[in-house]
Amino acid sequence: MDQDFTTPVENTWCPGCGNFGILNAFRKAIPKLEKQGINPKHLIISAGIGCHGKIFDYVPLSGMYSLHGRSIATVQGIKLGNPNLKVLTFAGDGDAFGEGISHMIFAAKRNADITVIVHNNGTYALTTGQFSPTSQKGFKGPSLPSGNIEEPLNPLSLMLEAGASFVARGYAGRIDHLANLMVEAVLHEGFSYIDVLQPSVVFTNTYKEFNASVEMIEKPAVRLEDAVQLAKRFDKIPIGVFYNVSKPIYHQELYGEWNPVVNRLSHAERIRSIALYLSDHLQE
Amino acid sequence: MDQDFTTPVENTWCPGCGNFGILNAFRKAIPKLEKQGINPKHLIISAGIGCHGKIFDYVPLSGMYSLHGRSIATVQGIKLGNPNLKVLTFAGDGDAFGEGISHMIFAAKRNADITVIVHNNGTYALTTGQFSPTSQKGFKGPSLPSGNIEEPLNPLSLMLEAGASFVARGYAGRIDHLANLMVEAVLHEGFSYIDVLQPSVVFTNTYKEFNASVEMIEKPAVRLEDAVQLAKRFDKIPIGVFYNVSKPIYHQELYGEWNPVVNRLSHAERIRSIALYLSDHLQE
Amino acid sequence: MNDDLFTFLIAGKAGQGTKKAGIVAANFFARFKRNVFQMNDYPSLIRGGHNFSIVSTSTQKIYSHYMKADLAVLLDQRSIKIHQNHLTEHGLLVYDDAIKKQEHGIGIPITSLAKKYSTPDLIVGIAGIATLVAAIACDRSILDTIIQKEYQRNVQDNLGYAHEIYDQVFEKTPKKFILRNGTDTDPILTGAETIGLGVSAAGLDLFFAYPMTPSTPILHFLSLQGKKLGVRTIQPENEIAVANMAIGATFTGARSMVGTSGGGFCLMQEAFSLAGMAEAPVLFFLGQRPGPSTGVPTYTEQGELLHSLYPGQGEFPRIVASPGSIEEAFYLSAELLNLAWHFQTPVILLSEKHLTESSMNVNLQPDKISEVKPLQHNNGNYQRYRKTDSGISPLLFPPSKEMIKWTSYEHDENGYTTEEAEAITQMHIKRRTKQESLVQYLKENIKTVNEYGSGEPFLFTFGSTTMTVREAVLVSGLQCSVIQLIYLQPFPSWHLQKYSGHKAIIIEQNSTGQLEQLLREKCGIHPITSIRQFDGRPFDPELLAEKLKKVTA
Amino acid sequence: MNDDLFTFLIAGKAGQGTKKAGIVAANFFARFKRNVFQMNDYPSLIRGGHNFSIVSTSTQKIYSHYMKADLAVLLDQRSIKIHQNHLTEHGLLVYDDAIKKQEHGIGIPITSLAKKYSTPDLIVGIAGIATLVAAIACDRSILDTIIQKEYQRNVQDNLGYAHEIYDQVFEKTPKKFILRNGTDTDPILTGAETIGLGVSAAGLDLFFAYPMTPSTPILHFLSLQGKKLGVRTIQPENEIAVANMAIGATFTGARSMVGTSGGGFCLMQEAFSLAGMAEAPVLFFLGQRPGPSTGVPTYTEQGELLHSLYPGQGEFPRIVASPGSIEEAFYLSAELLNLAWHFQTPVILLSEKHLTESSMNVNLQPDKISEVKPLQHNNGNYQRYRKTDSGISPLLFPPSKEMIKWTSYEHDENGYTTEEAEAITQMHIKRRTKQESLVQYLKENIKTVNEYGSGEPFLFTFGSTTMTVREAVLVSGLQCSVIQLIYLQPFPSWHLQKYSGHKAIIIEQNSTGQLEQLLREKCGIHPITSIRQFDGRPFDPELLAEKLKKVTA
Ligand SMILES: Cc1ncc(C[n+]2csc(CCOP(=O)(O)OP(=O)(O)O)c2C)c(N)n1
Ligand SMILES: Cc1ncc(C[n+]2csc(CCOP(=O)(O)OP(=O)(O)O)c2C)c(N)n1
Ligand code: SF4
Ligand code: SF4
Ligand SMILES: [Mg+2]
Ligand SMILES: [Mg+2]
């Protein structure tokens, strides 16, 4: 693998797009993770469909470019197939909180050991800027030219409510900070969610606001209520880790230490088991 | 319509099922609503698929017996078709928080003017008792005989987080109280959610616990945080209205006072409009 | 006609244990080394309503239950109303004497005796077994053995109750029936069990499902037994998660399968198409019940044949096959899982409630099943979507220093997204080539059609209906062939064209004649008549035999 | 061949306004009362990459763009690489002189001049228009009019820039092209617009959609224009909500439609089957793009024909039709909405990106469209699913003192759930009868196939490919017929059988020959050859004409 983690694929994001910040942060996170003992070949990625999803082609890691909204299910499947792998998916706000919201809530609820990084640009960018679940009220897009009439979801407090054990917010304009969040999220055992403030220069050019109002969190809240409160602050926009607790992990609860592809029952053992089952059911 | 709101359909719930309490409460709520000016012919019902859904056949109101998880979308469609109707759906916990959770969250988020009554029995009853999104950890069902490994969702705090403007809990064993909640929920303008504690005598026979620990709420919390706190109490199980606020309503934000089936553009007007559009695009 | 056919019917309310009694009765007949077929009929409810279970048994092989019973045990008034005429000429009706006295049959205090015991509602099913054992004039000790094995909860109560019933029945109809011994010792299994065992033999690792009749029994079977068989089950939040998780799991090399029914399968179609594009080998079990929509959840139908041929948008290799017996389900499920991996494409195992939930004795030889290894990457630069002559690209699983990219987008050989005309064309051709390889493979290596009997007329059918048709042919004594299509996609026209121009009858369980449409259009087979039933119930072999005799007369 | 065909090509990066320039160019040609066809080619990205727009114009009717341009304006290096050979014999290449000097063509300081203005990236599309106007030797005042109408933002900058380009081009190639005047004054519209207008004319009230190319343009059009046309749009959380809300809305009598593409349509199939069971009249727009799965989102294909025939589990009346031109899309959309209400069943309007996103001048006569009133309940006891001779039950909408129950379960005439054999059979027959009524109705009242030209060979095609085939026939000068299947389900075999045995060529945009499969199997039409393209691009009429000439030679 290239040490700079690039690929021959042409980058087609708009110049200045916040996605570059996320890509750069991720490229920085990979070697940091390697130092922490996570070999890039164990780091499996996925992505939804949208501008954000293109990141899949821009890093030379193995993984699966999934469907709009479904990468959260995809990576859970990968983890369940081989729990030795570390899995991470990039998702859009439309992806994760529109089409795929059921998977987000249940991944958090069951504390699936996956990392979800949402490129939250408050719009369905790739489909030309319709309002999304995190669009501000009043946001004008081509499917509602007079302005969005819904209040946005709050991804962080929603994930906290659903049971997420690691919740953070990063900003595409703070690359090193974001890279560290990514490292922490991947290392966290259990469901990790990073909401990334991602300006879409075309549809939601929010750099100025974010630059003015992001504020680093010193350390995560201990109590869930406090994390929720922090997630609901709007005077300043806190970035950093909001909440980080340890909880029973889904695949371990399900399998213990067993691993489907590593500890497969051999063909002979299966045949023996079946024969046993049949003989238990033989007519006496 | 019969004054006792019965139908010729044979009731096939198990004797003692909590669903009877919900049915009886609803039969009491209909005339109460009529007194409040809501004619039963304006009251349109729906239901998901599950034991709960059978209630659809047991009351002689108009409506649509929907799909598993989708009745929440169905009633929003009905409301959007004719905002003069009052719409209400019965749903199961599997229905509303498994298959249909995306619709629940967005109905709450957009404050759709619908009422959702969830028969929360903590199991997929009709499909013979598998664990559901609200099943307790450890609950034993045929798809996980060793016991559920996930923490249950908290439907009330989840709906509050999603933006629900009316959130209540009732108990199938407190019929009059529940009937009153139903009346309040239907009268509430905006998204109303009632979580009904519903013992399934076969799979989750919880009458005893509930009888011992339900406690009436005096009045709704004023602050959202307090409502959430109340929803997370487990020493006692509060029943009553947790939260009740007024917010902009989806169909009004969308339409103002317009009604698709009442204020339809006539055929002639449409043809005129199209002709106008065409002449605007005529080659000069 | 079967000369020593015996049919036992037990009917009552859900919760009275009629299904359990049917299974126990089947095992009772097995003591005589007889063949059995057992079918459960129940509405979508948990307690009450009307359930019944029928077990037909014979010393010969038997492929269907019969609607006319030799012994009917009816536990409630409704059962009398429905089943009083479902008796053979010398059939015996035993009913609960709480019901008003009937002209025929004998009343036994089934419910009133039950009242003495701890679970009076649940215990009554035992009355059926006690009656059966008594009517066959078996020793009461046999009844004891059965009760001790099959009704272990409150066993003393159960024994006491069983004795009381046995004694009363025995007194009133001593030695009513005599059952010859047969020679069969095969286990009695449901289709859900044989499917679960078959895929385990072919190396299944993970089974994902959201409950939905009639696929749920596979989920339940594997949840209970899977660990020993090497299979774990996962019940996610909905069918969309089910299918996408299964695809994700295959990325790691884990053999994955999903189970669902009509509505759930619809929701999975987006993922089905993804599997086609990403070339993910997932086996989809699609259990049919009467549709459209929620339909009649606990009954049987074959209304999704055409629907199953092109699920998921776009063009990619597709496989659909349907087992014609509970036994075949074992081998076919394994074969399909192997085909999925061989061709790296989604595969549908199409079946019906009548197969998954009925049981019969089956001869399974697990060692006949192998686990086909897919094409593996050996060394050198890895490209997930490398073009090959067969259209099949080698597989490689993580962790690997090679980059492995699967994708839903159109792509180049590396798995990177492409929008270029030539690259798009090439990948379409790759997938089409794979489809052609598949057809070739089926032609050369796979039994795509079963032919039973010989000579005209040819009775065409598929799926579980095959069982009833075969039984009906036995009943009718007709000289004819039963042609069962195992594979439906690719459609084995190469095999079937020879029947064109011959006398054909098409038998299926749907209202529009979907198999007929395919046979007409693809093979020029124009039947002299078609026989369809679409009331949710499987055909009765005797009625079907009569129809066959009429149309072939 | 068209003797006064003129083709304008503009190519550059996304964000440089090539699409806009194409539309403006089309309207410019319209000033000459000429016919136009305009097509946009763009990858799935927002800024950068490679976009182009082609406008072909003629005094005759024209059904396709041509890949060879008379005037090509190329804004970047990549455009040169891709399009330098896409010129007619006397074609003129104009390119940005920031690119290294080309052998042919003239360099113009397109980007360097733009730098002076406020939005240098966005303004460059205007260079295309200025070049066009200059090359046609129109007066600069015409350019001013156009800029003032079409580029209102920063209009002074735009005018200044346009003048500079115009002057340079005019100087270098005075009076290069002369365009004859035509006689056509019809408006230039996209397929998305004609569909939106058509359904409005037939009474559409609500349009539900979740964005997905290539259906999104309908959503955008109706979101902007719908209010005036009587139509409101709703964008719910996902496609499942879209379809179920639309069904709910029909319950109130509101005419409802959904728009989607492959993956989204898959997700809607469960609701599609519900509409079949509940008898909910919903019109589904299914816009095709290259699949499977995410595929190539912004391009065109016809890979979902077979997939669209049996969506949703179970048996119920189904209608699928596909417009063969942007004009026909207007009438057909209206007809399908009416059919949905006439037969109370889900209907699919199948199309492609090439239709929804291309534009041409169309002659629409809205007063030819009526809003068919469905069968209404008059008085007496209401039963939602009353059996009738036609299988169509009268409708009644709330509020009503009568009980109106729609349902996903199998049901009796009142809409109450049933599990009884006879009731199930009856409702299957009711739905099958409705299907038969539908076929009868199509046979008697509906144009299901278009026939253009006369005599052999017969060129079979469907959907937007029809436009290109018709144009290719013009180009080739061949004597032949174009047979366009408008209806695909029910398949109009009654109409097509007459072609069996004649010389046929089948032309479609997919790799496996889906239309061919249907024509072979259902009508015994075996083509002498088939022509398929599956690279995401529409056929080029000239290349297609050559192929046609070769195979018919
Ligand atoms: C099932 C389905 N529905 C719709 C689409 C079309 N689609 C592609 S990307 C997208 C929205 C992307 O928004 P978001 O997830 O926020 O990503 P962004 O482009 O903003 O990064 C949509 C609706 C799709 N690909 N699949
Ligand atoms: C798409 C789909 N998946 C699965 C089912 C099968 N199904 C019917 S009811 C049900 C669960 C019902 O659970 P819940 O909503 O809690 O209702 P309850 O029976 O407990 O009242 C399921 C999974 C279905 N009908 N449709
Ligand atoms: S549209 Fe927005 S999100 Fe997409 S690449 Fe451009 S700036 Fe980024
Ligand atoms: S199974 Fe449970 S929820 Fe269903 S009817 Fe019986 S008691 Fe009620
Ligand atoms: Mg976004
Ligand atoms: Mg439940």
Spatial distance between the Cα atoms of C483 and C498, rounded to a whole number of angstroms? 12
Cross-chain Cβ contact C536/D424 below 8 Å: yes
Cross-chain Cβ contact C271/A65 below 8 Å: no
- pLDDT at residue number C45: 93
Spatial distance between the Cα atoms of D459 and D530, rounded to a whole number of angstroms? 9
Alpha carbon of B149 to ligand 6 centroid (Å): 18
Spatial distance between the Cα atoms of B204 and D448, rounded to a whole number of angstroms? 57
% chain B with pLDDT above 70: 99
B20 C-beta closer than 6 A to ligand 4: no
pLDDT digits (tens, 9 = 90+) for D348-373: 999 999 999 999 999 999 999 999 99
SS3 assignment, position D481: strand
- pLDDT at residue number C103: 86
Long-range contact set of residues C515-520: C-beta below 8 Å, sequence gap at least 24: C515/C302, C515/C305, C515/C460, C515/C461, C515/C462, C515/C485, C517/C306, C518/C305, C518/C306, C518/C488, C518/C491, C519/C460
Distance, in angstroms, between A219 CA and closest chain C CA? 33
Report the chain C residue with the minimal C-alpha distance to residue A283.
C185
Q: Report the relative pairing of strands C188-190 and C359-361 from DSSP bridges.
A: antiparallel
Cross-chain Cβ contact B261/D270 below 8 Å: no
The backbone torsions φ and ψ at residue A123, rounded to the nearest 5 degrees and listed phi first, read -165, 160
D212 C-beta closer than 6 A to ligand 1: yes
Spatial distance between the Cα atoms of C261 and C268, rounded to a whole number of angstroms? 10
Q: Which residues pair with B63 in a beta bridge?
A: B45, D405
CATH of domain C449-552: 3.40.50.920
| Ligand 1 atom at minimum distance from A69 CA | 15
Question: Are residues A18 and A24 in contact, defined by beta-carbon separation less than 8 angstroms?
Answer: no
Distance, in angstroms, between A66 CA and closest chain C CA? 6
Nearest CA to ligand 2 atom 1: C264
**Which tokens go with D354?**
């090439």
Q: What stretches of D384-494 adopt beta strand conformation (E)? A: 405-407, 449-453, 458-462, 481-485, 487-489
CATH class label, C6-172: alpha beta
Q: Which residue has the tokens 């093979």?
A: C523
Mean pLDDT rounded to a whole number for chain D: 96
Subunits adjacent to chain B (3 or more Cβ pairs under 8 Å): A, C, D
Q: Which residues pair with D189 in a beta bridge?
A: D360
Contact partners, residue D81, CB within 8 Å, separation at least 6: none
Report the chain D residue with the minimal C-alpha distance to residue C45.
D419
Spatial distance between the Cα atoms of C544 and C551, rounded to a whole number of angstroms? 11
| Ligand 2 atom at minimum distance from C297 CA | 25
**Which tokens go with D531?**
């022509």
Mean pLDDT rounded to a whole number for chain C: 96
What count of other Cβ atoms lies within 10 Å of the Cβ of residue A4? 9
pLDDT digits (tens, 9 = 90+) for B225-256: 999 999 999 899 999 999 999 999 999 999 99
| Ligand 3 atom at minimum distance from A51 CA | 4
Distance, in angstroms, between A262 CA and closest chain C CA? 9
Interface test with B, best of C13, C119, C225, C235 (most B CBs within 10 A): C235
Distance, in angstroms, between A153 CA and closest chain D CA? 12
Distance, in angstroms, between D316 CA and closest chain C CA? 7
- Sheet arrangement for strand D106-108: D106-108, D87-96, D69-74, D6-14, D48-58, D35-41, D359-361, D188-190
Alpha carbon of A74 to ligand 5 centroid (Å): 19
Question: Which of A:92-131 have CB within 8 Å of D?
Answer: 98-99, 101, 124-128, 130-131
Does residue C137 register a pLDDT over 90?
no
**Which tokens go with D352?**
């492609």
For residue C323, whether the previous peptide bond is cis, meaning omega lies within 30 degrees of 0, is: no
Cross-chain Cβ contact D216/A202 below 8 Å: no
Nearest to B76 among D245, D403, D416 (CB): D245
Ligand that lies nearest to the alpha carbon of residue D240, given by its number in the listed order: 1
Confidence band (pLDDT; 50, 70, 90) for C121?
confident
Report the chain C residue with the minimal C-alpha distance to residue D41.
C419
Q: Considering Cα of A33, then A34, then A37, then A42, what sign does the dihedral take?
A: positive
Regarding the domain delimited by C188-368, which CATH topology (the fold level of the hierarchy) does it fall under?
Rossmann fold (3.40.50)
Q: What does each C-alpha distance from D113 to D61, D165, D315 come to in angstroms?
A: 38, 8, 64
D291 C-beta closer than 6 A to ligand 1: no
> Domain coordinates of chain A in residue numbers?
19-247, 259-284
Within 6 A (CB) of ligand 2 lie B 48-52, 68, 92-95, 99, 119, 121, 123-127, 132; C 210-212, 239, 263-264, 267, 294; D 270
Confidence band (pLDDT; 50, 70, 90) for D102?
confident
Q: Which of A123, A203, A207 to mutate to test the pocket of ligand 3 (most atoms within 8 A of CB)?
A: A203
pLDDT digits (tens, 9 = 90+) for B48-104: 999 999 999 999 999 999 999 999 999 999 999 999 999 999 999 999 999 999 999
Which whole number is the average pLDDT over B107-127? 98
Mean pLDDT rounded to a whole number for chain B: 97
**Complex ipTM value:** 0.98
Q: At what angle do helices D541-552 and D465-476 cross, to 10 degrees?
A: 60
Residues from chain D contacting residue B96 (CB–CB below 8 Å) = none
Question: Are residues C329 and C198 in contact, defined by beta-carbon separation less than 8 angstroms?
Answer: yes
Distance, in angstroms, between A242 CA and closest chain B CA? 17
pLDDT digits (tens, 9 = 90+) for C380-434: 999 999 999 999 999 999 999 999 999 999 999 999 999 999 999 999 999 999 9
Cross-chain Cβ contact C277/D262 below 8 Å: no
Does residue B43 register a pLDDT over 90?
yes
- pLDDT at residue number D174: 67
Nearest CA to ligand 3 atom 2: A200
CA angle C207, C353, D433 (to 5 degrees): 125
Residue A46, amino acid: S
Residue D258, amino acid: V
Which whole number is the average pLDDT over C451-470? 97
Does residue B1 register a pLDDT over 70?
no
Residues from chain C contacting residue A102 (CB–CB below 8 Å) = 237-238, 240-241
Does residue C1 register a pLDDT over 90?
no
Does residue C174 register a pLDDT over 80?
no
Which whole number is the average pLDDT over D92-119? 93
Ligand that lies nearest to the alpha carbon of residue B17, given by its number in the listed order: 4
Cross-chain Cβ contact C314/D304 below 8 Å: yes
Is D6-172's fold the same as D188-368's? no
Which whole number is the average pLDDT over D46-67? 96
> Domain coordinates of chain C in residue numbers?
6-172, 188-368, 375-446, 449-552
pLDDT digits (tens, 9 = 90+) for C248-270: 999 999 999 999 999 999 999 99
Of C16, C49, C41, residue with least CA distance to C129: C16
Within 6 A (CB) of ligand 3 lie A 13-14, 17, 19, 51, 121, 125, 200-203; D 46-47
Of C398, C489, C444, residue with least CA distance to A61: C398
| Chain C residues within 8 Å of chain B (Cβ atoms) | 15, 43-49, 209-213, 216, 219-220, 223-224, 233, 235, 237-238, 263, 293-294, 297
- pLDDT at residue number D121: 85
pLDDT under 50: residue ranges of chain A: none
Which whole number is the average pLDDT over C362-369? 97
Question: Are residues D243 and B72 in contact, defined by beta-carbon separation less than 8 angstroms?
Answer: no
Regarding the domain delimited by B19-247, which CATH topology (the fold level of the hierarchy) does it fall under?
Rossmann fold (3.40.50)
**Which tokens go with A219?**
């350390």
Q: What stretches of C359-500 adopt beta strand conformation (E)? A: 359-361, 405-407, 449-453, 458-462, 481-485, 487-489
Q: Report the relative pairing of strands B166-171 and B237-244 from DSSP bridges.
A: antiparallel
**Secondary structure letter of residue B11 according to DSSP:** P
Alpha carbon of B47 to ligand 6 centroid (Å): 13
Q: At what angle do helices A267-280 and C216-229 cross, to 10 degrees?
A: 120
Spatial distance between the Cα atoms of C296 and B49, rounded to a whole number of angstroms? 12
Contact partners, residue D292, CB within 8 Å, separation at least 6: C273, C274, C276, C277, C312, C313, C314, C315, C316, D262, D303
Ligand that lies nearest to the alpha carbon of residue A18, given by its number in the listed order: 3
Question: Are residues D301 and D291 in contact, defined by beta-carbon separation less than 8 angstroms?
Answer: yes
Long-range contact set of residues B209-215: C-beta below 8 Å, sequence gap at least 24: B210/B171, B210/B173, B210/B237, B211/B173, B213/B237, B214/B171, B214/B173, B214/B174, B214/B238, B214/B239, B215/B239
Does residue B2 register a pLDDT over 70?
no
Does residue C2 register a pLDDT over 90?
no
pLDDT digits (tens, 9 = 90+) for C55-84: 999 999 999 999 999 999 999 999 999 999
Q: What is the 3-state secondary structure (H, E, C) of D35-74?
A: EEEEEEECCCCCCEEEEEEEEEEECCCCCCCCCCEEEEEE
Spatial distance between the Cα atoms of C273 and D443, rounded to a whole number of angstroms? 35
Contact partners, residue C123, CB within 8 Å, separation at least 6: C17, C114, C117, C154, C157, C158, C161
Cross-chain Cβ contact A77/C270 below 8 Å: no
SS3 assignment, position C484: strand
